[in-house]
Amino acid sequence: MNNNQIISLLPYQEPFLFVDDLTMMSSEGITGQYTFKKESYFYEGHFKNNPITPGVILTECMAQIGLVCLGIYILKDQLSEENQPQVALTSSQVDFFLPVLPGEKVTVVSEKEVFRFNKLKCKVKMLNEKNELVCRGQISGMLKA
């Protein structure tokens, strides 16, 4: 399964799709990128005259790439256009270190900690274009084909 096939199976669409590309995929982890568009709706009013990407959106980006895309890759033999993945976020714990500004490209790196009884738990981090740590944490969810 290639990156375009995985992205097509995501249960999201614009303006709530936060995956542009996947550059590394294995059953043990995944790496992907997203560029936050300057005109995104969530920048309006999120700090007057100084917009930054809300932490909840950064967490969502990490979950879409690091948990859902990885889960789709792990379940790839059971999925198709007719048999879409079912996803539910069960927990997240994220520490934030740097802001992400409108127009910035980030890289999400995820490592599988455990996948058992349809629950996937990952260690996830987000890096900016300077390869600086933006945020990191653990994200878990239930995935079913």
* 3-state DSSP of 59-100: HHHHHHHHHHHHHHHHCHHHCCCCCCCEEEEEEEEEEECCCC
Mean per-residue pLDDT of the chain: 95
Q: What is the pLDDT of residues 102-115, one digit of tens each?
A: 999 999 999 999 99
Catalytic residue among 35, 42, 46, 128: 46
Catalytic: 77?
A: no
Domain over 3-144 is classified CATH 3.40.50.720? no
Alpha helices by DSSP H, listed for the chain, are 3-9, 55-63, 70-74
pLDDT at 47 over 90: no
Q: Where are the domains of the chain?
A: 3-144
Q: What is the pLDDT of residues 49-69, one digit of tens each?
A: 899 999 999 999 999 999 999
pLDDT at 81 over 80: no
Question: Which pLDDT score, from 0 to 100, does residue 46 have?
Answer: 85
Question: Which pLDDT score, from 0 to 100, does residue 105 have?
Answer: 98
